[in-house]
């Protein structure tokens, strides 16, 4: 059994508005380079490593789908069997799934967001899912610590390093079941825990330091039912997942597919599992049994329940989602830095990657945790620290690049200084440009001597 | 030395030079009054803490525990029946010079709550350091050393950590949502590391399906635990600041509901409460009859060791012998050979048990006489009780001196207070409470200085009169005759008043009774449990937009708030009607106005809404009375309007509200009581005559309706004559001016 009976859907998204001006028609989010590789490649290679080679990639917009399909067929020919499907823009993650749901046949479906950069094996999530015969299993990872690295020069001291609160989750004492989840705007509001669930478990651990990594294993029949019945559901994390969590003690999902035969028993006993969890810890201080404890079990129509499980990745694993410009910088920094094993490159003795075809002028230094891709040229007396520089860039002399990402075919003329910025492909920075915490959209020309701070520059 | 310093920091009264005071004795405040009415009618005659628990007064257990944990000074706060209590303590071992710690009493007759009690204690300034706050009805065998140490350590680090609460694992039933002690489930949240209490809710609104926790809870720490499987033992280690906090917040009454919640909400002072969980030892507070039963059984099963009947701990009742099956028997029990004594039963000294009697799961006090063929199951029978032949007792509490004549049947949950006598062959219905003392009316319920729960007033209760009549009907005639003739013993019948339930209604009696919960009730509840979620999920699912779950939709905007307003106006009408119904049962009008006002505020309604709702109630009242013709209907309605016009007028402050009433009246005639519609104009004019409606209101209503649809104008047309008359009258007045 090399392959588990799992089908994989990768939600590659389209051109996320949040990532303007980095993304464009030419470069959808999935193809944004992270350490000079499209971000989608991290997911694909992770799946490949787990021997999950039949994939469906769903992209928003025909254009994006074409580009992603083109790239995949080039890069992964003979390695993966990928179907690329296009869905209209703005249908949401649930909509994207709805479009491909009819193609799914396996018992379980693994759904991964295309912007995930992680080394958590999907197999671990799948195994947890199978072990509990859960309806859904979500991967939770420690919330990323955002902000520039502490050694960063650009305002690193302004904010104390604190995990960003992205989700509020409720777990049972064994941390296997997902009992509460607040996402998005709900995070800013009061925590509303369902009493019936608290009663069933007795104890809920509420945590704000975990992030929903957008890797889910779903029971296929349940997922399809929900997609069919709840046609208003728009998003997995905001609609489908909370719905399943909310109804786990009073299941509404019809479970009478093929799956039923093998897992039906577990479903009936799962509430008892929850009870058991809460009661096995201590025996009540009296041999007097509550008489109704028995009568309850003999109730004719035992309430149908289902299980929502979690797999919590360990602290040592890397897990991040590219869903903001800040995250983009962070991930690039980490992939060539502390999580360098993800990049797939081998680092030099100086702890950096300089492609043999790259040329460096005299007295130019490239520090550790840097990357310089093929064909790029640096002039004299340049300094590159903790930055990623793409292919075929032309960089003049006396250029300083710190904590930045420079994509492909960028021309940087003499005397420029770039800090904490993202410079997209085909940008031209004329002489003595100073950029600090800026984003420069593809093809933009920054004129001589201009000085920008915390700006987003893009062609109109 | 370090510890000494900590204590010194804690002590707020610095009367002595700290260097001289080498040792601050551990003090305890024992509240010998529960400040509630749950043990009535028994507590009318004897303080709760002196009620026997497995033949030993409850306070003995508490004092014995306090002694065992090294408390050196105990202040017993007495309130109700303070003389009895003082007398008891004076005669007890505790106040003898040989006692290992000092017990002194503090008496107050004004205190109606734990808060008041602590304020009195503060004023006495007797507390010098950390103290144990406990109620006199607590049974425990835990060791306090660890909790005390933790408390002191914390205090040293953080002077704001002023209280440590003892909690224990106890899972409430999934069906009844109450613990085995009969208390409501408590929802707590605390920090997993520090055990700091972050949230406490002991009266969660059962209609609310979600618990809302403030987001602030996650601001300081990334995680916390939420529990509903912890039981609050009501044993607190407090720092002296607790007393001064009660002083500062003179409105704090209840230890938990006000004080604990108050501290948790208050983020200015930053006081913190911590919890200490006990695992293997026992701690429970007797809050109601159910916990009385549960704790009694726990004691007999030695969970509270060494506070068990066969250990010579209390001085008295030491001659107990433990037989097989957990049967305790005093040595001098006279038991017939043919009598059967079943499992987990205790029989006090001097009691006699007749032939063929069966006793199981019960406690029998001292000097009791039980006749032949008596069956006693799950009962708590105190001292000097006489039970004649052929009685059947099932899950009842029978106080001192009760006399049950031949063939009496006590159904589950019956409470017979002191010296009640029950005549032959009488069956006392389930959950009845019988006392020699008549039931006090609701108004003077704090006569006994027991603090009635503030919420109780709002709970809807069945009309008292109807309760009594149904009760009496169930009794055999001669018994109710006794009742009518007061206390005189009538021949073979008995003595006593049957109390009707006054708080929470009879429906809730089963929750706190000693009797096991009836299976039918459980089935009903678990059924409800099944039904419930569907409703709420439908609600949830009906909110349309994706991503906006129900929680969100509440905050989406103003239009939403309006929406709910309309939705619950019918509810509001019902609430007002229910409140109004109580006015019928004797609650005076001012109280009703007060309650309606509070309803109005809580539902965010206007005076006009109240007026409308009240008017509806009054009209309904008129409709309820039997009537055969329109004339009679009018008579009835007019009578009710006349009767309640004061309340109505209270809400008719301006013309707008009066118009609201007319509109409501139209609505009633059209939708609720169509039989009234022919009477519209007559009632309208009588409303005018009684000064409830002013002519301005009627005229502006009429003019408002002028532009309306024909269908809307039925009533205006009907009242046309009256309106023209009004118009003319007012014109005449104008002319005169």
Q: Quick check: B489 contacting A, CB < 8 Å?
A: no
B-interface mutation test, from A199, A250, A276, A305, most B Cβ less than 10 A away: A199
Section B712-722 average pLDDT: 77
Q: Report the pLDDT value the prediction gives residue B235, as an integer from 0 to 100.
A: 92
Closest Cα in chain A to B222: A208
The count of residues in chain B is: 737
β-bridge partners, A211: A141
Four-point Cα dihedral B677, B681, B685, B686, nearest 10: -30
A-interface mutation test, from B210, B282, B285, B342, most A Cβ less than 10 A away: B210
What is d(CA B373, CA B170) in angstroms, rounded to the nearest whole number? 39
Q: Report the pLDDT value the prediction gives residue B442, as an integer from 0 to 100.
A: 54
The residue written with tokens 């309650």 in the block is B595
Of B173, B211, B516, nearest to A192 by CB-CB distance is B211
β-bridge partners, A177: A309
CB pairs under 8 A between A and B: 164
State CA B391 to chain mean position distance: 32
- Residues contacting B271, CB < 8 A, separation 6+: B160, B161, B162, B163, B241, B245, B263
Q: Judge: A203–B552 Cβ closer than 8 Å, yes or no.
A: no
Percent of chain B with pLDDT over 70: 79
Q: Judge: A199–B228 Cβ closer than 8 Å, yes or no.
A: yes
pLDDT digits (tens, 9 = 90+) for B375-403: 999 999 999 999 999 999 999 999 999 99
Q: Please identify among residues 392-451 of chain A the ones whose CB lies closer than 8 Å to any CB of chain B.
A: none
Contacts of A242 in chain B (CB under 8 A): 549
| Pair B152, B130: CB distance under 8 Å | yes
pLDDT digits (tens, 9 = 90+) for B487-530: 333 334 567 777 765 544 455 777 888 888 888 878 777 776 55
What six digits make up the tokens of B416? 């017979």
Q: Please identify among residues 156-185 of chain B the ones whose CB lies closer than 8 Å to any CB of chain A.
A: 169-177, 180, 185
Q: Please identify among residues 61-100 of chain A the ones whose CB lies closer than 8 Å to any CB of chain B.
A: 92, 94
Q: Report the pLDDT value the prediction gives residue B461, as an integer from 0 to 100.
A: 33
pTM of the model: 0.69
Q: Whole-number mean pLDDT of chain B?
A: 76
Q: Report the pLDDT value the prediction gives residue A8, as an integer from 0 to 100.
A: 92
Q: Report the pLDDT value the prediction gives residue B134, as an integer from 0 to 100.
A: 92
User: Closest Cα of chain A to B152: distance in Å?
Assistant: 28
What is d(CA B451, CA B455) in angstroms, rounded to the nearest whole number? 11
β-bridge partners, B165: B236, B275
Q: Report the pLDDT value the prediction gives residue B463, as an integer from 0 to 100.
A: 32
Q: Quick check: A207 contacting B, CB < 8 Å?
A: yes
Q: Judge: A285–B282 Cβ closer than 8 Å, yes or no.
A: yes
Q: Which residue stretches of chain A have pLDDT < 50?
A: 1-3, 147-161, 255-302
**Residue B317: exposed, middle, or buried by beta-carbon count in 10 A (0-12, 13-18, 19+)?**
buried
Query: Nearest Cα to B417, choosing from B298, B477, B498, B340?
Result: B498
Of A208, A284, A292, nearest to B175 by CB-CB distance is A292
Q: Judge: B204–A195 Cβ closer than 8 Å, yes or no.
A: yes
Whether a cis peptide bond, with omega within 30° of 0, leads into A21 is yes
What six digits make up the tokens of B575? 């609430």
Contacts of A235 in chain B (CB under 8 A): 546-547
Question: Order of strands across the sheet with A359-360?
Answer: A359-360, A377-378, A394-395, A411-412, A428-429, A445-446
What is d(CA A170, CA B173) in angstroms, rounded to the nearest whole number? 22
**Residue A458: exposed, middle, or buried by beta-carbon count in 10 A (0-12, 13-18, 19+)?**
middle
Q: Quick check: A11 contacting B, CB < 8 Å?
A: no
β-bridge partners, A9: A56, A111
Query: Nearest Cα to A204, choosing from A278, A281, A307?
Result: A278
Q: Quick check: A152 contacting B, CB < 8 Å?
A: no
pLDDT digits (tens, 9 = 90+) for A124-165: 999 999 888 889 999 998 887 654 443 333 333 333 445 566
User: Closest Cα of chain A to B226: distance in Å?
Assistant: 5
Q: Quick check: B130 contacting A, CB < 8 Å?
A: no
Q: Report the pLDDT value the prediction gives residue A215, as an integer from 0 to 100.
A: 92
Q: Report the pLDDT value the prediction gives residue B16, as an integer from 0 to 100.
A: 43
Q: How confident is the model at residue B568 (pLDDT cuts 50, 70, 90)?
A: low
Of B173, B213, B214, nearest to A292 by CB-CB distance is B173
Is the predicted pLDDT of residue B32 greater than 80, yes or no? Answer: yes
Q: Quick check: B149 contacting A, CB < 8 Å?
A: no
pLDDT digits (tens, 9 = 90+) for B546-564: 333 333 333 333 333 333 3
Q: Judge: B552–A299 Cβ closer than 8 Å, yes or no.
A: no
Q: Quick check: A289 contacting B, CB < 8 Å?
A: no
What is d(CA B657, CA B648) in angstroms, rounded to the nearest whole number? 10
Q: Report the pLDDT value the prediction gives residue B323, as an integer from 0 to 100.
A: 82
Section B185-190 average pLDDT: 87
Is the predicted pLDDT of residue B434 greater than 80, yes or no? Answer: yes
User: Closest Cα of chain A to B271: distance in Å?
Assistant: 22
Q: Judge: A203–B544 Cβ closer than 8 Å, yes or no.
A: no
pLDDT digits (tens, 9 = 90+) for A301-321: 445 678 889 999 988 888 888
């Amino acid at each position: 059994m090399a392959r588990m009976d799992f089908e994989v859907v990768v939600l590659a998204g389209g051109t996320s508005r949040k990532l303007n001006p980095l993304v464009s028609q030419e470069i959808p989010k999935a193809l944004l380079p992270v350490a000079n590789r499209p971000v989608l490649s991290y997911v694909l290679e992770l799946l490949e490593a787990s021997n999950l080679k039949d994939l469906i990639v769903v992209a928003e917009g025909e254009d994006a789908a074409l580009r992603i399909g083109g790239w995949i067929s080039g890069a992964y020919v003979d390695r993966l069997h990928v179907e690329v499907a296009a869905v209209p823009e703005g249908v949401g993650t649930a909509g994207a799934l709805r479009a491909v749901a009819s193609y799914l046949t396996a018992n379980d479906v693994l759904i991964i967001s295309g912007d995930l950069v992680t080394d958590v094996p999907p197999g671990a999530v799948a195994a947890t899912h199978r072990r509990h015969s859960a309806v859904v299993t979500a991967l939770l990872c420690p919330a990323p610590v955002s902000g520039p690295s502490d050694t960063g020069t650009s305002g690193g001291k302004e904010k104390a390093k604190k995990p960003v609160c992205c989700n509020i989750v409720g777990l049972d004492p064994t941390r296997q079941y997902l009992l509460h989840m607040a996402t998005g705007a709900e995070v800013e509001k009061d925590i509303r825990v369902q009493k019936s669930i608290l009663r069933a478990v007795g104890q809920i651990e509420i945590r704000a330091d975990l992030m929903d990594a957008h890797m889910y294993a779903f029971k296929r029949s349940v997922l399809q039912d929900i997609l069919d019945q709840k046609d208003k559901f728009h998003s997995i994390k905001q609609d489908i997942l909370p719905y399943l969590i909310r109804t786990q003690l009073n299941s509404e999902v019809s479970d009478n597919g093929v799956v039923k035969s093998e897992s039906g028993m577990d479903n009936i006993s799962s509430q008892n599992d929850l009870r058991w969890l809460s009661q096995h810890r201590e025996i009540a201080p009296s041999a007097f049994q509550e008489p109704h404890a028995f009568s309850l079990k003999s109730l004719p129509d035992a309430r149908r329940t289902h299980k929502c499980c979690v797999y919590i990745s360990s602290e040592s694993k890397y897990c991040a989602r590219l869903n903001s410009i800040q995250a983009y910088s962070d991930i690039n920094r980490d992939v060539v830095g502390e999580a360098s094993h993800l990049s797939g490159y081998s680092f030099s003795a100086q702890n950096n990657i300089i492609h043999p075809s790259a040329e460096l002028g005299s007295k130019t230094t490239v520090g550790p945790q840097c990357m310089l891709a093929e064909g790029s040229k640096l002039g004299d007396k340049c300094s590159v620290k903790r930055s990623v520089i793409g292919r075929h860039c032309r960089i003049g002399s006396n250029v300083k690049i710190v904590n930045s990402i420079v994509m492909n075919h960028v021309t940087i003329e003499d005397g420029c200084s770039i800090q904490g910025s993202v410079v997209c492909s085909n940008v031209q920075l004329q002489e003595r440009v100073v950029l600090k915490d800026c984003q420069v959209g593809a093809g933009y020309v920054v004129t001589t001597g201009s000085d920008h701070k915390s700006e987003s520059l893009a062609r109109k | 030395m370090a510890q000494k310093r900590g204590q010194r920091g804690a002590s707020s009264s610095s009367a002595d030079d700290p260097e001289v005071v080498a040792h601050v004795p551990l003090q305890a405040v024992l509240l010998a009054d529960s400040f509630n009415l749950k043990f009535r009618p028994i507590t009318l005659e004897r303080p709760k803490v002196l009620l026997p628990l497995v033949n030993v007064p409850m306070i003995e257990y508490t004092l014995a525990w306090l002694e065992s944990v090294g408390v050196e000074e105990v202040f017993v706060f007495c309130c109700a029946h303070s003389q009895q209590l003082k007398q008891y303590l004076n005669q007890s071992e505790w106040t003898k010079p040989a006692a290992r710690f000092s017990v002194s009493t503090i008496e107050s007759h004004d205190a109606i709550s734990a808060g008041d009690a602590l304020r009195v204690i503060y004023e006495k300034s007797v507390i010098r350091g950390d103290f144990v706050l406990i109620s006199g009805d607590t049974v425990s065998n835990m060791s306090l050393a660890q909790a005390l140490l933790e408390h002191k350590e914390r205090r040293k680090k953080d002077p704001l950590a002023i209280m440590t609460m003892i909690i224990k694992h106890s899972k409430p039933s999934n069906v009844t949502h109450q613990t085995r002690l009969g208390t409501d489930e408590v929802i707590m949240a605390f920090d997993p590391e520090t055990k700091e209490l972050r949230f406490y809710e002991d009266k969660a609104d059962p209609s609310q399906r979600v618990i809302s926790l403030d987001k602030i809870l996650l601001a300081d720490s990334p995680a916390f635990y939420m529990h509903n499987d912890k039981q609050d033992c009501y044993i607190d280690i407090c720092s002296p600041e607790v007393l001064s906090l009660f002083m500062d917040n003179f409105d704090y009454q209840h230890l938990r509901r006000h004080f604990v919640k108050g501290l948790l909400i208050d983020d200015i002072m930053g006081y913190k409460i911590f919890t200490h969980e006990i695992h293997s030892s026992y701690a429970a507070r007797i809050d109601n009859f159910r916990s009385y039963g549960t704790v009694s059984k726990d004691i007999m099963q030695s969970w509270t060791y060494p506070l068990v009947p066969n250990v010579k701990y209390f001085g008295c009742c030491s001659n107990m012998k433990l037989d097989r099956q957990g049967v305790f028997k005093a040595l001098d029990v006279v038991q017939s050979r043919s009598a059967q004594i079943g499992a987990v039963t205790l029989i006090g000294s001097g009691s006699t048990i007749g032939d063929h009697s069966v006793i199981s799961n019960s406690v029998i006090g001292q000097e009791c006489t039980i006749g032949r063929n008596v069956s006693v199951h799950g009962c708590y029978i105190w001292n000097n009780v006489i039970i004649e032949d052929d009685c059947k007792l099932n899950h009842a509490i029978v106080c001192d001196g009760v006399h049950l004549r031949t063939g009496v049947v006590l159904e589950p949950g019956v409470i017979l207070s002191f010296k009640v006598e029950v005549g032959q062959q009488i069956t006392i219905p389930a959950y009845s409470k019988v006392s020699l003392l008549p039931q006090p009316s609701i108004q003077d319920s704090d006569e006994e200085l027991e603090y009635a729960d503030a919420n109780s007033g709002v709970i809807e209760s069945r009309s008292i009169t109807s309760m009594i009549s149904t009760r009496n009907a169930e009794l055999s005639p001669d018994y109710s005759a006794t009742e009518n003739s007061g206390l005189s013993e009538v021949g073979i019948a008995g003595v006593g008043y049957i109390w009707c339930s006054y708080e929470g209604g009879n429906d809730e009696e089963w929750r706190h009774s000693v009797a096991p919960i009836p299976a039918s009730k459980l089935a009903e509840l678990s059924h409800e449990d099944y039904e419930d979620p569907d409703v709420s999920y439908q609600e949830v699912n009906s909110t349309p937009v994706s991503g906006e779950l129900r929680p969100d939709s509440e905050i989406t905007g103003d239009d939403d708030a309006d929406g709910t307003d309309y939705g619950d106006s019918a509810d509001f009408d019902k609430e007002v009607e229910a409140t109004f119904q109580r006015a019928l049962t004797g609650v005076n009008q001012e109280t009703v106005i007060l309650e309606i006002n509070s309803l109005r505020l809580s539902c965010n309604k206007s005076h006009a809404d109240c007026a409308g709702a009240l008017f509806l109630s009054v009209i309904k009242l008129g409709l309820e009375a039997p009537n055969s013709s329109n004339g009679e209907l009018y008579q009835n309605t007019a009578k009710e309007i006349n009767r309640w016009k004061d309340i109505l007028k209270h809400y008719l402050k301006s013309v707008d509200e009066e118009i609201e009433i007319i509109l409501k009246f139209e609505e009633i005639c059209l939708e609720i009581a169509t039989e009234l519609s022919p009477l519209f104009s007559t009632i309208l004019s009588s409303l005018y005559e009684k000064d409830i409606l002013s002519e301005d209101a009627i005229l502006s209503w009429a003019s408002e309706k002028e532009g309306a649809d024909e269908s809307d104008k039925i009533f205006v047309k009907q009242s046309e004559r009256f309106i023209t008359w009004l118009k003319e009258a007012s014109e005449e007045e104008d002319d005169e001016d």
